Chain A
């Protein structure tokens, strides 16, 4: 279909204007707002004790959620693609629950199970492991919301790779463990890497589920996204300007993630 130039240029213009207004303008705007009073002001907002603690909490949450969901993701993708077990289809459908359920509802569901009056909450509290309103609950909420990314990235790659090489390895006497480490894992590594990138992005940015299970105390249960929300409610210094600075901090982290996605994307297409 050869589109007439008038159509071609107007579609291009519409797309560019739409993307510029929707994507670029907001991001450029927070950078301008953050640095309009100089770099040192912005830096001071990013390095208050509360901001530093929020940064490390976010890092901690991602450092637990990402490896857990990566191991689960690769294992579950293997089950979904390679095994013939009954119940595989049910498992397949259930994996997507976190994509469909609102994060706030996820937080609520966790409170109902692990909160003080929840199903298992008192059992954990009696053993000195309070979950809800503690960093542990925020980690749990993040694991929940970011659970499907790795499975959904790895499963199609695994399907594409097929089993021929694995069978060859097995014929040559490799144990199933050796086959997994030396044959399967190297062939799906771009899928795994992409899954890790998406999981990390979600873990760093999650707010809805985490907000419900956080006690919102500065310096202990406020992660970077919660700090942005907190600071927008503060009037005067440490308020909206500080929120922009934290926003930029998160935006820089996400631009790194986006860059990783862009680097992996062509390789990923080849793998499929």
Chain B
């Protein structure tokens, strides 16, 4: 216990404490300004909106993929199942590079999405795919098929069975996957660094702020630290909110 706490403190807790201390160290007014300046607000809003859209699309598609992986039978399914984890294994910068080449200015398939939000969204869908699929898949495996058959034999249509039996069982898992995807999107850097050059995404704005403060004292990092804390608070609120909603509705 002692050693674990010490290790966690040196690596994680002290740096996070320093971040909060610097964010608030120049007074509350400076903290307020750090995330309400027009660029910061724009960055927070863009990041929030894009993360929300991606988390929702990702969850819908993830649930469909999970359904196919669990309920459908076809040759090659096992290979398909194992490539779902590819985004966990592939370095995010490689995804960024590949999408830039594939859907950028010199796209071989003639789809030029460079500098658009769409290409950033595709990158985020890529990195969050395993969260969306792997949250739902194990729960879907455990869903009691007897209940579905009972519903069907009592005359329920497929749509009704899905809406009344399957979906309620999956809801906590889907929401938990959505929450994880959302949190990941809010902080994502590697997969979008080459794509979001013209779109103010929070992580990239913080990165630029940090670079311009390099070499100065800790207080020069205040705007970056303030924006970081704001971003973190938003991500945590949404993460726990969605998880709690899922748990409550699941009861």
Contact = CB atoms under 8 A, between A and B. Distances in A.
Contact of A204 (B64, B80, B91, B122): B91
B189 interface: yes
Nearest to A143: B11
Nearest to A266: B78
A27 B98 contact: yes
A202 to B, nearest CB: 8
Interface residues of B, number: 87
Given A108-B225, A247-B94, A250-B91, A100 B239 contact: yes
Given A11-B68, A91-B5, A97-B12, A30 B94 contact: yes
Interface in A1-49: 1-4, 7-8, 11-12, 14-16, 18-19, 22-27, 29-30, 33
A131 to B, nearest CB: 11
A30 B19 CA distance: 38
B152 A1 contact: yes
**Majority DSSP secondary structure for residues of B touching A:** helix
A105 B19 contact: yes
Contacts of B102: 25-26, 29
Interface string A115-154: 1111100000000000000000000100110010000000
B93 A258 contact: no
A191 interface: no
Contacts of A19: 65, 80, 83-84
B82 interface: yes
Q: How many interface residues does chain A have, given as a range? A: 35 or more
Contacts of B232: 100-102, 105
A201 interface: yes
Nearest to A107: B210
A205 B92 contact: yes
A262 B80 CA distance: 11
Interface string B133-170: 00000000000010011001000001001100110000
Contacts of B90: 27, 205, 250-251, 254, 258
**Majority DSSP secondary structure for residues of A touching B:** helix
B89 A201 contact: yes
B231 interface: yes
Contacts of A115: 218
A102 B203 contact: yes
B89 A108 contact: no
Interface in A223-272: 224-225, 228-229, 232, 240, 243-244, 247, 250-251, 254-255, 257-258, 261-262, 265
Contacts of B203: 102-105, 208
A107 B149 CA distance: 53
Nearest to B151: A1
A22 B125 contact: yes
Given A75-B4, A119-B18, A207 B93 contact: yes
A2 B71 CA distance: 10
Nearest to A200: B89
A147 to B, nearest CB: 6
Nearest to A7: B158
Contact of B161 (A1, A14, A119, A247): A1
A19 B132 CA distance: 13
Given A23-B129, A30-B98, A261 B221 contact: no
Q: Top 3 A-B pairs ranked by shortest CB distance?
A: A102-B187, A205-B91, A26-B98
5 contacts: A100-B183, A103-B203, A104-B228, A109-B228, A261-B85
